[in-house]
A and B are shown apart, each in its own frame.
Chain A
């Protein structure tokens, strides 16, 4: 009996390791999911006089995309956002993270601007409150201002179709009813 104990422990261990193989050890889930998005009041990237607050964005589900002109992976992601903005009636809000107005503005001119509005966060304050750690990141926030989803790393069309679009549809339905 006691001679089989090591084997039993080992089998459990192998099962855990096998499950572990499918996981991404670097991915850090956000504790903010299903929590209200942080309050903020920041100026828009353009025009600078406009102030954007959590309230001014409320009322319908939005996709919040965190980006910066110095972020290499953002460049890979950007065409996807541009395409989505053109084809679909999605509202993408940009959060320009730890950047300068000049660089960010020039970057949008060069690569296209998919954002209905861009929040300018040069000190990364809102980024910190959102728990941003690897730009680009994308949040889905519902009409009540609750964070429903977070994607770390570049968005692809596949991720969009599989994760974010269904989530948005559900949120839209919930808003209508």
Chain B
């Protein structure tokens, strides 16, 4: 009975979503404020209904209701309860439900703040979210119903994909979806601006905290996915430029561009057309990502099992929503988006250059991801575009971005002198150069130049962040000044410093890591850099839903024990899938990473051992970026015109 209730709730949610779209539209067309006001309650009801549906599906997993086809395919009586819950989003149908619940959740969040917006703008944003909801609910009901039943019910289920049986994977998808589905809100604001035919600085102020919030979630989600790949896939990689990874990376890059462009539009009312276009395309890339993951047009380790009908449906959604909004942009854009003035060298032009370059980076990833598909579609043969391409090209695209980031970091609004900026840059740039050179000299000669260049880039950014803080310190109490600085300032500094930290991690991991793939006999001691690793023993053990072979390795350094690790080779019987659980000794400057390969006979095993230099820094940097985003969202100046001064600027903004 409960699953039918869930199914019914989804159908009802569709009806409510239709109302959420249609009523405000009618209200707008016939100037009926009462109809506009219905958008909020509709968003709340839709969210409540979808949460109910989600809970009933979760209950099905909890009580092993294998009459549900989706539960039977993705769960098992031997599966621990927390994996049974995360199994809700372990495959296509359930994760689609999660996608829609999160979409409705953002709609709910907007409805809670809608009173801060002009009634028509708020209603349009909610109507847009409602419309996206309608299309995805139709998609679910027609092609991907997680509540479908089969009689007779199987006695036991097919188990959750073992790749997903991991704590990291419990939270990774929800965070990721919170991120890229969240870009629906700035998208809604963009559509509202185009429909209303006016775009004020206040508009950017409303859209910005939502964008920052979505971006923050996406940052954490991507970092978590990368961390998961590192310890779960068994060979210590952390980014593969896999199409599905790219699908989440592209909205992140463009979302970053959007944040910077929004800052310029908010503070100075400039680049409105560019900001609106970014708001549309960022969400477009989120939808494109959804298409790439769920249609099967590209091969990927992460892709869901797919069928062509779903691909056609999602492509239809993509075409309708993005095509419609870009059409609106082409039609209404010219009359909506003029205005603003600035000088060639000013904070806003640096922000524009920055967002343009991020856009180039996004297009580069898109190009590499879709190029094989394009050639194939044109019948020109098959090629592969992989890490060697992306690593090479991405460096050249990022280089100018990093140079400008350092330069523009503390440029003044409206007008600044290049002379002043260059002198300041020479100061911290010189410091960065000396520091990077000092580090590079201490490194192995074959990777010295590459590592030095990466470190220089990172120190250059850190230097500019520091210079930005120092610039704000007047002669009076330092503490008072630091306390007086707005959260948004700290958010920005922290995010940029986080980017530098990630850069350090990327640079050192990819140049200073030591890899060893070797035959290890039982009892043998191998040397790994400064460490000695002894293969002590191997044993079989029984997990809840898998069998495992577990090795024991003792790691010492100069005769002192560092750690004993137990890497495993697991075999999940139900799906007949083997998995590697690496033995990892985490550390600030390096991780020791040992994974068990295959038996080679005579008790010997093939073993992979790595010293991953500074690998944690890349995720730590991402967390700093996310925290920076969080601080910026919390900044009371962002989004809420509560300070007296801003109130007035706001008033001025409205007249523009």
A residues engaging B (CB < 8 A)?
Answer: 3-4, 6-7, 10-11, 13-14, 16-23, 25-29
Q: Which residue on A lies nearest to B336, using beta carbons?
A: A3
Chain B residues closer than 8 Å to A10, beta-carbon distance: 284, 322-323, 326
Q: A7 is contacted by which of B299, B329, B374 (Cβ under 8 Å)? A: B329
Shortest CB-to-CB span from B521 to chain A, Å, is 27
> How far is A108 from B38 in the complex, measured between Cα atoms in Å?
72
Say whether B486 faces chain A, with CB atoms less than 8 Å apart: no
Q: A21 is contacted by which of B297, B323, B326 (Cβ under 8 Å)? A: B297
Query: Given A21-B311, A26-B299, is A16 in contact with B373 using a C-beta cutoff of 8 Å?
Result: yes
Q: Which residue on B lies nearest to A31, using beta carbons?
A: B381
B residues engaging A (CB < 8 A)?
Answer: 273, 277, 280-281, 284, 291, 295-299, 308, 311-312, 315, 318-319, 322-323, 326-327, 329-330, 333-334, 370, 373-374, 376-377, 381-382
Are B296 and A25 neighbours in the complex by a CB distance under 8 Å?
A: yes
Q: Which residue on A lies nearest to B300, using beta carbons?
A: A25
> How far is A10 from B325 in the complex, measured between Cα atoms in Å?
11
Q: B373 is contacted by which of A3, A20, A29 (Cβ under 8 Å)? A: A20
Determine which residue in A3, A16, A19 has the highest number of CB atoms from chain B within 10 A of its CB, and name it.
A3
22 A-B pairs with C-beta separation under 8 A: A3-B329, A3-B330, A4-B330, A6-B326, A6-B329, A7-B323, A7-B330, A10-B322, A11-B323, A14-B315, A16-B374, A16-B377, A17-B291, A17-B373, A18-B315, A21-B295, A21-B297, A21-B311, A23-B297, A23-B377, A25-B297, A25-B299
Are A3 and B299 neighbours in the complex by a CB distance under 8 Å?
A: no
Shortest CB-to-CB span from B257 to chain A, Å, is 14
Query: Given A14-B323, A28-B382, is A21 in contact with B376 using a C-beta cutoff of 8 Å?
Result: no
Are A20 and B297 neighbours in the complex by a CB distance under 8 Å?
A: yes
Are A3 and B273 neighbours in the complex by a CB distance under 8 Å?
A: yes
Q: Which secondary structure characterizes the binding site on chain B?
A: helix
Shortest CB-to-CB span from A54 to chain B, Å, is 26
Other than the known A6-B330, A17-B315, what 20 A-B pairs have Cβ atoms closer than 8 Å? Answer: A3-B330, A6-B277, A6-B281, A6-B326, A7-B323, A7-B327, A10-B284, A10-B322, A10-B326, A13-B370, A14-B318, A16-B373, A20-B376, A21-B297, A21-B311, A21-B312, A23-B373, A23-B377, A26-B299, A29-B382
Chain A residues closer than 8 Å to B297, beta-carbon distance: 17, 20-21, 23, 25
Shortest CB-to-CB span from B52 to chain A, Å, is 34
Are A3 and B334 neighbours in the complex by a CB distance under 8 Å?
A: yes
Shortest CB-to-CB span from A69 to chain B, Å, is 19
> How far is A19 from B315 in the complex, measured between Cα atoms in Å?
11
Q: Which secondary structure characterizes the binding site on chain A?
A: helix
> How far is A121 from B4 in the complex, measured between Cα atoms in Å?
57
Chain A residues closer than 8 Å to B312, beta-carbon distance: 21
Chain B residues closer than 8 Å to A25, beta-carbon distance: 296-299, 373, 376
> How far is A17 from B247 in the complex, measured between Cα atoms in Å?
14
Shortest CB-to-CB span from A23 to chain B, Å, is 5
Shortest CB-to-CB span from A153 to chain B, Å, is 15
Chain B residues closer than 8 Å to A21, beta-carbon distance: 295, 297, 308, 311-312, 315
Are A7 and B326 neighbours in the complex by a CB distance under 8 Å?
A: yes
Shortest CB-to-CB span from B574 to chain A, Å, is 18
Chain B residues closer than 8 Å to A3, beta-carbon distance: 273, 329-330, 333-334
> How far is A14 from B382 in the complex, measured between Cα atoms in Å?
20
Q: Which residue on A lies nearest to B374, using beta carbons?
A: A16
Chain B residues closer than 8 Å to A13, beta-carbon distance: 370
> How far is A17 from B291 in the complex, measured between Cα atoms in Å?
9
Chain A residues closer than 8 Å to B296, beta-carbon distance: 25
Query: Given A7-B327, A14-B315, A29-B382, is A20 in contact with B322 using a C-beta cutoff of 8 Å?
Result: no
> How far is A37 from B326 in the complex, measured between Cα atoms in Å?
52
Q: Which residue on A lies nearest to B310, using beta carbons?
A: A21
> How far is A26 from B306 in the complex, measured between Cα atoms in Å?
13
Q: Which residue on A lies nearest to B292, using beta carbons?
A: A17
Chain B residues closer than 8 Å to A4, beta-carbon distance: 330
Chain B residues closer than 8 Å to A27, beta-carbon distance: 382
- 8 closest Cβ pairs, A-B complex: A19-B377, A3-B333, A7-B326, A4-B330, A20-B297, A21-B311, A25-B299, A20-B373
> How far is A26 from B373 in the complex, measured between Cα atoms in Å?
11
Are A14 and B319 neighbours in the complex by a CB distance under 8 Å?
A: yes
> How far is A7 from B624 in the complex, measured between Cα atoms in Å?
36
Chain A residues closer than 8 Å to B273, beta-carbon distance: 3
> How far is A22 from B309 in the complex, measured between Cα atoms in Å?
11
Q: Which residue on A lies nearest to B330, using beta carbons?
A: A4
